[in-house]
Chain A
């Protein structure tokens, strides 16, 4: 069964750091595009970051320079290192596998998020 389980959330003071983990089963993290998507309390979905199977990484402008996405092949786990946290980073953070599409001109590009993990809550507050 394909499954994603996030851990690592919690209450953290502004300016602090936290590392989220996303353990995958039923498929290999390093062989897929993987992403983090967050959802502020009572709000909609916001894409945060993506890592391609070739290791390329991309970030939303709101987290660029503060967050780092990475993976560990041996543990089949995706990570999100979050530094210099702000109140507006408070959200449930979901990891998701990202489907890909191939274009002969541009190569592989990200598509849809499927499946998703249940998420882990990060609260940034003093």
Chain B
């Protein structure tokens, strides 16, 4: 099973600041990584797939990069609605599909 490790666990930033979230895989997943956003009481929402492709309707301030074992989700300038928990997920080794433990982006 491929293990995804996200860091930091919590990121405290102010609106307008840049957020950089990391996801590291225990073995290469090529570019087969996605990012999701989850707000309290809501379902997760797909942000990025295949490491760098924005899903439909996702603002351009969200970008993804990386390949192999190291990936980054960047939010260029935090909006109030961006404070949430973010998860990465890999599909390279499909059984089982696995998620990272999450990074909480909170208001400083």
Contact = CB atoms under 8 A, between A and B. Distances in A.
Interface of A: 35, 44-47, 50, 58, 60-61, 94, 99, 101, 109-119
Contacts of A109: 91, 94
Interface string B75-108: 0000000000001010100111111111000000
Interface of B: 32, 34, 36, 42-46, 49, 55, 87, 89, 91, 94-102
Nearest to A100: B91
B97 A110 contact: yes
Contact of B46 (A46, A101, A112): A112
B34 A119 contact: no
A60 B94 CA distance: 11
Given A111-B32, A112-B55, A115-B45, 8 more contacts: A44-B87, A44-B102, A47-B97, A111-B34, A112-B91, A113-B46, A116-B43, A119-B43
B99 A44 contact: yes
Contacts of B102: 44-45
B46 A114 contact: yes
Nearest to A45: B99
B96 A44 contact: no
A27 B98 CA distance: 25
